[in-house]
């Protein structure tokens, strides 16, 4: 989640300019680290993080290692602490770094969605952000920042991390029949992610409607009511979001949530008896993957677009032409 990022991956790992690089956590760092730890469902041990940022051997190995995909939560957080410490003047560099990080998330998100030939589902939402006037953009930015610093934002971050971990684990499962429980767990976490995430889309929709939505109020709206408002034919501004929301398969979600599924490894399919709906293994994997793309969009590209637009709306030097959208 962006609210707890200490720095970005764009920071060079070549130099270590100050003696405090491997020192103990400062009071400010500890406050931020404690906030970051909450975004991992399994938690993160603060003492372990402090041990890592004071361990020269670990720091050396981290700086030389290019693959960080299997890092523990403690290692991920420690890595971001060290990235910030590498700056000669972190406070002065922060605005530019954050804009660079936002651009990186936006551009990489666009690349993934275009590579998968699904960018069309998100394009309307992207365009609506660039069409917001200054007042609407201020409301959108305020909503996102309030959300990210709330427990709702922490919950979204936890489910995001769980989904990403599931997707990584699924790559190693063979045959597919052995991975069905993991697929179910993945989709259950995606459904939980949407409980917290779809209200962000609803906030944007209501801002376009002329309202000034509040985070706590929208989080109390039932998930079915949120989805209905974002997809109903009589709601004019849902055209910016309906293709995203419609990827969520409520039949599959309900079957998994209520234990109403049969895994048939002979026929290579999943059946939901109550609704008489059948998914081949490949169809099940596809449903999960397209919703995984939603998770990436809603936690990386979407909030970054809102923040980038908010911080650059009055700039003559930083324009949309510098983004991949």
For residue range 76-110, what is the model confidence (pLDDT) as tens digits?
Answer: 888 877 766 665 555 544 555 567 778 888 999 99
Is residue 282 located within the same domain as residue 186? yes
Same domain, 137 and 63: no
How far apart (Å, rounded) are the C-alpha atoms in residues 172 and 68? 17
Beta carbons within 8 Å of 230's beta carbon, 6+ residues apart: 198, 201, 202, 205, 238, 241, 242, 245
Last residue of a domain, one of 88, 123, 153: 88
Tell whether 178 and 213 lie within a shared domain: yes
- In the listed set 55, 88, 121, which residue is the last one of a domain according to the structure? 88
Q: Is 207 exposed, middle or buried (0-12, 13-18, 19+ CB in 10 A)?
A: buried
CA distance 110 to 325: 7
Do 76 and 138 belong together in one domain?
A: no
From CA 66, how far away is CA 257, in angstroms rounded?
39
Residue 3 in this model has a pLDDT that exceeds 60: no
pLDDT at position 269 over 70: yes
Q: Give the pLDDT score at 38.
A: 76
**Residue 106 and residue 250 share a domain:** yes
* Domain shared by 63 and 102, yes or no: no
What is each CA distance from 100 to 112, 161, 263, 302, 317, in whole angstroms? Answer: 18, 22, 46, 15, 14
Look at residues 35, 60, 88 and tell me which one is the last residue of a structural domain.
Answer: 88
Q: Per the structure, how many domains does the chain have?
A: 2
Q: Which candidate, 67, 61, 101, places its Cα nearest to that of 82?
A: 61
Whole-prediction pTM value?
0.76
Is residue 238 located within the same domain as residue 311? yes
Please tell me whether residue 241 adopts helix, strand or coil conformation.
Answer: coil
Per-residue pLDDT of 171-226, as tens digits, reads: 877 778 888 999 999 999 999 999 999 999 999 999 999 999 999 999 999 999 99
Q: Specify the pLDDT at position 294.
A: 97
Q: Tell me the percentage of the chain whose pLDDT exceeds 70.
A: 86
Q: How far is the C-alpha of 140 from the C-alpha of 303, rounded, in Å?
A: 9
Q: Are residues 277 and 172 in the same domain?
A: yes
Instruction: Dump the DSSP string for 137-189.
Output: HHHHHHHHHHHHTSHHHHHHHHHHHHHHHHHHHHTT--SHHHHHHHHHHHHHH
Residue 234: count other Cβ atoms within 10 Å of its Cβ. Answer: 6
**Rounded CA separation 133/139 (Å):** 10
Do residues 137 and 310 lie in contact, with contact meaning Cβ atoms separated by under 8 Å? yes
Same-domain status, 20 and 119 = no
Q: Parallel, antiparallel, or unpaired: how do β-strands 277-280 and 269-272 relate?
A: antiparallel
C-alpha 156/C-alpha 134 separation (Å) is 27
> Is the same domain home to 247 and 316?
yes
- Structural domain including 176 reads 96-322
Q: Using alpha carbons, select from 212, 208, 252 the residue that is nearest to residue 230.
A: 208
Same domain as 302, residue 236: yes
A 10 A CB-CB count for 9 gives 12
Rounded Cα gap, residues 96 and 315, in angstroms = 13
Distance CA 167, CA 173 (A): 10
Question: To 5 degrees, how large is the angle CA 140–CA 146–CA 147?
Answer: 90
Q: What is the pLDDT of residues 129-172, one digit of tens each?
A: 999 999 999 999 999 999 998 999 999 999 999 999 999 888 87
Q: Are residues 69 and 164 in the same domain?
A: no
């Amino acid at each position: 989640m962006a609210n707890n990022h200490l720095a970005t991956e764009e920071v060079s790992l070549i130099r270590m300019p100050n003696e405090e690089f491997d020192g103990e956590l400062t009071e400010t760092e500890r406050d931020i680290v404690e906030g970051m730890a909450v975004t991992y469902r399994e938690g993160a041990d603060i003492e372990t993080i402090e041990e890592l940022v004071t361990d020269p051997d670990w720091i050396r190995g981290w700086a030389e290692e290019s693959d960080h995909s299997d890092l523990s939560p403690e290692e991920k957080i420690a890595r971001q602490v060290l990235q910030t410490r590498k700056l000669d003047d972190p406070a002065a560099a922060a605005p530019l770094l954050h804009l660079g990080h936002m651009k990186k998330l936006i551009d990489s998100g666009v690349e993934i969605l275009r590579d998968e030939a699904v960018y069309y589902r998100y394009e309307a939402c992207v365009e609506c952000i660039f069409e917001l006037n200054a007042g609407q953009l201020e409301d959108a930015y305020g909503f996102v920042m309030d959300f990210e610093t709330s427990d709702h934002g922490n919950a979204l971050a936890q489910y995001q991390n769980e989904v990403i971990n599931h997707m990584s684990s699924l790559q190693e499962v063979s045959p597919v029949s052995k991975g069905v429980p993991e697929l179910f767990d993945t989709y259950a976490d995606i459904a939980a992610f949407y409980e917290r995430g779809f209200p962000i889309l609803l906030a944007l929709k209501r801002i376009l409607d002329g309202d000034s939505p509040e985070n706590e109020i929208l989080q109390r709206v039932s998930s079915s009511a949120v989805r209905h408002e974002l997809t109903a034919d009589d709601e004019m501004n849902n055209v910016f979001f309906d293709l995203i929301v419609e990827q969520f398969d409520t039949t599959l979600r309900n079957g998994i949530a209520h234990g109403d599924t049969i895994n048939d490894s002979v026929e290579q399919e999943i059946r939901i008896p109550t609704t008489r709906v059948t998914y081949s293994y490949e169809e099940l994997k596809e449903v999960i993957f397209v919703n995984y793309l939603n998770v990436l969009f809603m936690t990386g590209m979407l909030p970054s677009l809102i923040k980038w637009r908010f911080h650059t709306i009055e700039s003559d030097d930083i324009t949309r032409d510098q983004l991949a959208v």
